[in-house]
Structure 1
């Protein structure tokens, strides 16, 4: 037996937790996920764990190690491995309207269920008890998948129940953030049930996980109180869709995606996301994203229009699902050259170029970073501008040193990520 998990303690102390829930999911209840200020899911250890459990956590936690990209196929330093790169949308107008971007992710899940490729889907949805937050859900029908459709910019821990999910048997699709899928892939090295029961893992391009304080800030900017909100949608019902909050007495507020994300949520993103070497779902079977249309300067336009998804198949399994969906008329899509992805996702490209500088700053402060092998971090960095590299190095240095100083005065504040 081992008392406190050294991995969990190190990851929390260095503010490297992504909140995926893997450590809780494999610990038989010894570790649980709790909400911590300013609004992130974080593990709390209640009792001792076995050495075997600690080995699984150390080898799977995305705050400790990030799953490498495969070496045996073509890959791009920003976008990872790929077999097909497409832009398109769900042909079902309801799915396209309800889902994020063009509804491709939801359409693929519905198709996988209807073709009996999987029995059910593990994903997240809005938590009725706290509408700005999330909860885990299982879906086995089109209607259930759509009930959880749309982007959810709040903490989620889909791996918190992974042991129960694997013990249940059957075949299920897993949908999660890139770090969630990374943790699941790494867990598969220790638990053969992952390959048996999770034949399909889907992800998306992630801009970072904001705290619940970000959503509360959005609600207050609408003139509402977070405690009054009974329904909250971050986006969707259009593309990119409005951020909408409603109260029980019929009041509501709306905000554009550009304002909600650009002015509020993006400023509340946790630190682990700032140094993420794979925010594009590089080890998923399929990863989807917004196929933004650029303006004259090349910056994505967030004006409302029909949704369009970027779809990247990365594995033989993902490729087979995508081809089946296109053949069945579920997805209408056209090929896209891999180098064109940057025009639709310039922020993701820039972030990848800066990961080496940011992690170097963390290491210069004698703090750990996750293991990042075979993720083309160095190759991406060589494409970055010197000014941007220096700016990101110094900015990260100031942030980490500021944490150290506050943590020296009040250790609890460091653990909370403040």
Structure 2
């Protein structure tokens, strides 16, 4: 019985340090022979069963850890390739770039910034565009560990709101949704995970499971910091052992967010996550697979959301430098950003833009388009971060004959 597919995956993507723990290799394995095993240092895909599919290479075929066929993805899902003489060269194909926020105060409260991603998922569910969404939640037994969660109601979606600053095999949720009998789902994913999803969606042999995916929602991503970073942060900041956590939110409350932990004894522990240096501290725990990633802006997503860091008009520091009343009156974006923050929004596909517009027209979100100058400044700023941070690391690997991720444009 052949195991050549997994051995190829192991040789090219796992043992080279490129694997980003998405779990899609396990999700598409016909024999369920691959398990994403967890260790103190992170997770690793391992062959725990027997391959019995002849020369099957499905697990390798869906992996985008080594080869990212961006040009092929863009043409297939967005109808064209990026315009290399415009800001699309670094920002990817887009039909809309702007900002927005949820109209529902409940959603605005639980969202990391504007809450648009949460609002859009709920709208898509309620309008019947999807019958479920693969989102990032927490493990019920170990609520400090992020885990894929299949949401089928507004309550489910709201329960998953907020960023999970740790790696986890999010795409295992696709197989769970498929086995639940769902027929049309959305998947929330980091940029690297979204690239694996698109590889699967382009594979004719995987259409049984891939065809249920109707929307890929991405987030801006600097890195998925190792769980060891969260453990260290909890102990150093709040004197909490991770195993004592009952509920965890990395960023909640007033923008840019407070880390809020409730322990098993019922006590609430809080500290400003961004302003007290939590994000910077977690950066020390950036794993190797993130250090060879150049993609922050979600090139493969139908829609992409993030904070407004780098926006020329809406920098997310109004908590430190409040705008004047005149500024808030002159630009409603500034008023809303000062209240709770705004979501940065990028729509790449026709369907992604259509869904956003319908959500806005239904009164579920507020949305403003950037000027061309704002779009160029914003996308240029965000897209430049990873090449600046990780470029030297990548060049060193190349010089030493070590593999890196290849983006094919």
Q: Which runs of structure 2 are paired with 1:184-263 in the superposition (5 Å)?
A: 184-190=197-203, 191-193=206-208, 196-220=211-235, 221-258=237-274, 259-263=276-280
User: Are the counterparts in 1 of residues 296 and 382 from structure 2 also a CA contact under 8 Å?
Assistant: no
Q: TM-score, normalised on structure 1? A: 0.81
Mapped to 2, the partners of 1:370 and 1:52 lie a distance apart of 28
Structure 1 residue 284 corresponds to structure 2 residue 301: yes
Mapped to 1, the partners of 2:394 and 2:55 lie a distance apart of 28
**Structure 2 equivalent of residue 19 of structure 1:** 21
Q: Is the alpha carbon distance of 1:53 and 1:123 closer, same or farther for their aligned partners in structure 2, counting shifts above 3 Å?
A: farther
The 10-residue stretch of structure 1 (201-210 or 264-273) with the greater mean CA deviation from structure 2: 264-273
User: Are the counterparts in 2 of residues 291 and 344 from structure 1 also a CA contact under 8 Å?
Assistant: no
Mapped to 1, the partners of 2:185 and 2:98 lie a distance apart of 25
Tell me the alpha carbon deviations over residues 249-278 of structure 1, each in whole angstroms, 9 at most, x when there is no partner.
233322212235333212112121122132
Secondary structure of the structure 2 residue equivalent to 1:5: helix
Q: Is the alpha carbon distance of 1:152 and 1:78 closer, same or farther for their aligned partners in structure 2, counting shifts above 3 Å?
A: same
User: Are the counterparts in 1 of residues 292 and 405 from structure 2 also a CA contact under 8 Å?
Assistant: no
Secondary structure of the structure 2 residue equivalent to 1:234: strand
Q: Is the alpha carbon distance of 1:344 and 1:73 closer, same or farther for their aligned partners in structure 2, counting shifts above 3 Å?
A: closer
Secondary structure of the structure 2 residue equivalent to 1:235: strand
Tell me the alpha carbon deviations over residues 128-168 of structure 1, each in whole angstroms, 9 at most, x when there is no partner.
32222112211122111000000011122122243443352
Q: Is the alpha carbon distance of 1:324 and 1:182 closer, same or farther for their aligned partners in structure 2, counting shifts above 3 Å?
A: same
Q: CA deviation at 1:301?
A: 2.5
Q: Which runs of structure 2 are paired with 1:338-349 in the superposition (5 Å)?
A: 340-341=374-375, 342-343=377-378, 346=381, 348-349=383-384
Mapped to 2, the partners of 1:227 and 1:94 lie a distance apart of 29
Q: C-alpha root-mean-square deviation of aligned residues, in Å?
A: 2.6
**Structure 1 equivalent of residue 335 of structure 2:** none
Q: TM-score, normalised on structure 2? A: 0.83
Secondary structure of the structure 2 residue equivalent to 1:199: strand
The 10-residue stretch of structure 1 (108-117 or 221-230) with the greater mean CA deviation from structure 2: 221-230
Structure 1 residue 2 corresponds to structure 2 residue 22: no
Q: CA deviation at 1:189?
A: 2.0
- Quick one: which of 165, 175, 195 aligns to 1:182? 195
Q: CA deviation at 1:112?
A: 0.4
The runs of 5 or more residues in structure 1 that have no matched partner are: 375-418
Structure 1 residue 151 corresponds to structure 2 residue 166: no
Mapped to 2, the partners of 1:260 and 1:62 lie a distance apart of 32
The 10-residue stretch of structure 1 (272-281 or 12-21) with the greater mean CA deviation from structure 2: 272-281
The 10-residue stretch of structure 1 (267-276 or 84-93) with the greater mean CA deviation from structure 2: 267-276
Mapped to 1, the partners of 2:193 and 2:33 lie a distance apart of 20
Q: Is the alpha carbon distance of 1:247 and 1:163 closer, same or farther for their aligned partners in structure 2, counting shifts above 3 Å?
A: closer
Q: CA deviation at 1:207?
A: 1.4
**Structure 2 equivalent of residue 55 of structure 1:** 57
The number of residue pairs the alignment matches comes to 372
Q: Is the alpha carbon distance of 1:320 and 1:275 closer, same or farther for their aligned partners in structure 2, counting shifts above 3 Å?
A: same
User: Are the counterparts in 2 of residues 292 and 344 from structure 1 also a CA contact under 8 Å?
Assistant: no
The runs of 5 or more residues in structure 2 that have no matched partner are: 321-338
Mapped to 2, the partners of 1:209 and 1:325 lie a distance apart of 29
Q: CA deviation at 1:67?
A: 4.2
Q: Is the alpha carbon distance of 1:170 and 1:23 closer, same or farther for their aligned partners in structure 2, counting shifts above 3 Å?
A: same
Structure 1 residue 310 corresponds to structure 2 residue 344: yes
Structure 1 residue 130 corresponds to structure 2 residue 138: no
